[in-house]
């Protein structure tokens, strides 16, 4: 099943349940197959979030099993906001599928195999809001092509991702290790903390709701959310609707938590050569006085660009902070930084989080592939085939399904 990547994973979960019902009914009608009414779900990337939420809904273990037609309320959301507003992607997903109904139930999904799932989100989403898509090297042709498609600068990214629940649901959740947004200064060629790392506990209120006008390291530039100035009769304040979308993302994350289907297998990347952002760092090489450093967390500036640079001033002092690029893959014999290992997109800390799932899934820590093409890796295919075979062994015998065969065979 193809996903509408800009729509909420909540709506996509309803669409998956609908597709499961269609598949079960299709095979029940056939004369060649003897259906047991079960399905096995194999996912890639964000599809894992969708499948987990669908399984959670079918199990009835979520406090809120409604579709995305119910908007989350957020402490940051305006009291008089028009919560019926939908971005085009969300509206299309809402039109495509009604709230989850049908015959599927807690036991319909026999098992799930997840691949390279961003279980706890990805810090790189924050970086893209401030600097555009990372290229990771001047001669990285593939990275340049991705940036050309997704957006070279913050202006290209914010107008799309800032209006779409799906991408915002890829932001690090409360389950991701705290302190992934760091601030450093160079002292005698060594790094030192310039201010405390964020978030302390709640990334939604501490980071995602902050604009570049609120504080210099804020995530979103409100002027980029609706650059064409369209639908002004419907959107009186762009930033408030962005915060509504953040509220929906938080609601989705809080509902899903680390829920996993009782029979879950998963593989994730932990390759030091497939660098992924496990943390995001603002750094400066300028001298910062003690009083300047004390004020860093709350300083405001209008001097920033679309590629991850902010110029701060305090009194007669000036400091230029830039978002650091990902480090180069370690050379042979070097251990590398575990915070930057992964599959090139999903960092180790996020992919590995599936092992902490409620049902204690069986997980495989792997290397030798990048995120997008992970299923092209022979070891991955063999692993997934083995997982599917283990799940198939749990299928009920045909005789127990109510089906009959000629001669009792």
Average pLDDT over residues 263-271: 97
| Backbone torsions φ then ψ of 111, nearest 5 degrees | -175, 165
Q: Which pLDDT belongs to residue 229?
A: 75
Q: Which pLDDT belongs to residue 402?
A: 46
State the helix-helix crossing angle for 154-161 and 124-131, rounded to 10 degrees: 120
- At residue 96 the predicted structure's pLDDT band, cuts being 50, 70 and 90, is very low
Cα–Cα distance, 169 to 10 (Å, whole number) = 10
Instruction: Write out 59-91 in H/E/C secondary structure.
Output: HCCCCCCCCCCCCCCCCCCCCCCCCCCCCHHHH
Cβ(299)–Cβ(216) below 8 Å: yes
Q: Vertex 66, ends 64 and 70: CA angle to 5°?
A: 100
| Greater model confidence, 318 or 80 | 318
Local structure of residue 382 (DSSP, 8 states):
H
Residue 368 predicted with pLDDT over 90: yes
| Backbone torsions φ then ψ of 104, nearest 5 degrees | -60, 140
Q: At a CB cut-off of 8 Å and minimum separation 6, what does 30 contact?
A: none
Q: Which pLDDT belongs to residue 150?
A: 62
Q: Which pLDDT belongs to residue 396?
A: 87
Cα–Cα distance, 164 to 137 (Å, whole number) = 29
Residue 321 predicted with pLDDT over 50: yes
Q: Which two tokens stand for residue 236?
A: 């009186």
Cβ(54)–Cβ(16) below 8 Å: yes
Q: How many other CB atoms sit within 10 Å of the CB of residue 318?
A: 14
Nearest to 162 by CA among 228, 245, 74: 245
Average pLDDT over residues 89-109: 62
Q: At a CB cut-off of 8 Å and minimum separation 6, what does 294 contact?
A: none
- At residue 24 the predicted structure's pLDDT band, cuts being 50, 70 and 90, is very high
- At residue 158 the predicted structure's pLDDT band, cuts being 50, 70 and 90, is very high
Segment 239-250, tens digit of pLDDT = 888 999 999 999
Q: At a CB cut-off of 8 Å and minimum separation 6, what does 90 contact?
A: 6, 7, 8, 11, 68, 164, 165
What is the side-by-side strand order in the sheet with 39-42? 39-42, 109-115, 264-269, 362-366
Cα–Cα distance, 390 to 22 (Å, whole number) = 24
Segment 201-236, tens digit of pLDDT = 999 999 999 999 999 999 999 999 988 877 665 545
Least confident of 9-18, 137-146, 178-187: 137-146
For 314, the 3-state DSSP assignment is strand
Q: At a CB cut-off of 8 Å and minimum separation 6, what does 260 contact?
A: 52, 55, 112, 354, 357, 358, 359, 361
| Backbone torsions φ then ψ of 63, nearest 5 degrees | -65, -25
- For tokens 């902010």, name the residue: 310
State the helix-helix crossing angle for 47-59 and 238-256, rounded to 10 degrees: 60
Instruction: Bin 369: left if φ > 0, else alpha if -120 < ψ < 50, else beta.
Output: beta
**In sequence order, what E strands does 53-189 have?**
109-115, 181-187
Cα–Cα distance, 85 to 240 (Å, whole number) = 12
């Amino acid at each position: 099943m193809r996903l509408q990547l800009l729509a909420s994973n909540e709506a996509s979960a309803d669409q998956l349940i609908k597709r499961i019902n269609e598949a079960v009914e299709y095979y029940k009608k056939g004369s060649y197959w003897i259906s047991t009414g079960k399905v096995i779900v194999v996912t890639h990337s964000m599809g894992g979030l969708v499948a987990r939420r669908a399984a959670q809904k079918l199990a009835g273990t979520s406090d809120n099993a409604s579709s995305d037609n119910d908007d989350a309320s957020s402490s940051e959301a305006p009291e008089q906001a028009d919560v019926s507003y939908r971005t085009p992607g969300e509206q299309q997903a809402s039109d495509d599928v009604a709230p989850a109904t049908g015959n599927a139930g807690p036991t319909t999904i026999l098992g799930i195999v997840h691949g390279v799932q961003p279980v706890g989100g990805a810090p790189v989403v924050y970086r893209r809001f401030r600097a555009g898509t990372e290229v990771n090297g001047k001669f990285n042709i593939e990275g340049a092509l991705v940036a050309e498609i997704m957006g070279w600068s913050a202006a290209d990214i914010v107008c799309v991702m800032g209006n779409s629940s799906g991408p915002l649901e890829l932001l690090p959740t409360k389950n991701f290790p705290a302190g992934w947004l760091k601030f450093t200064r160079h002292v005698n060629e060594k790094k030192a903390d310039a201010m405390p790392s964020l978030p302390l506990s709640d990334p939604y209120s501490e980071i995602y709701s902050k604009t570049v006008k609120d504080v210099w390291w804020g995530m979103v530039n409100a002027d980029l959310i609706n650059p064409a100035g369209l639908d002004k009769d419907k959107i009186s304040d762009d930033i408030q609707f962005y915060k509504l979308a953040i509220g929906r993302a938080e609601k989705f994350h809080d509902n899903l938590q680390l829920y996993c289907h009782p029979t879950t297998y998963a593989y994730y990347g932990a390759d030091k050569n497939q660098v992924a952002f496990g943390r995001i760092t603002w750094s400066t090489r300028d001298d910062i006085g003690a009083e300047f450093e004390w004020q860093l967390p709350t300083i405001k500036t209008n001097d920033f660009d679309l590629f991850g640079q902010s110029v701060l001033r305090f009194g007669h002092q000036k400091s230029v902070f830039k978002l650091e690029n990902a480090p180069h893959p370690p050379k042979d014999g070097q251990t590398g930084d575990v915070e930057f290992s992964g599959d090139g997109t999903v960092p180790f800390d996020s992919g590995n989080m599936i092992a902490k799932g409620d049902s204690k899934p069986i997980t495989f820590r792997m290397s030798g592939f990048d995120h997008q093409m992970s299923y092209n890796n022979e070891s991955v295919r063999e692993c997934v085939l083995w997982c599917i075979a283990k799940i198939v062994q749990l299928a009920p015998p045909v005789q127990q399904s109510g089906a009959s065969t000629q001669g009792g065979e």
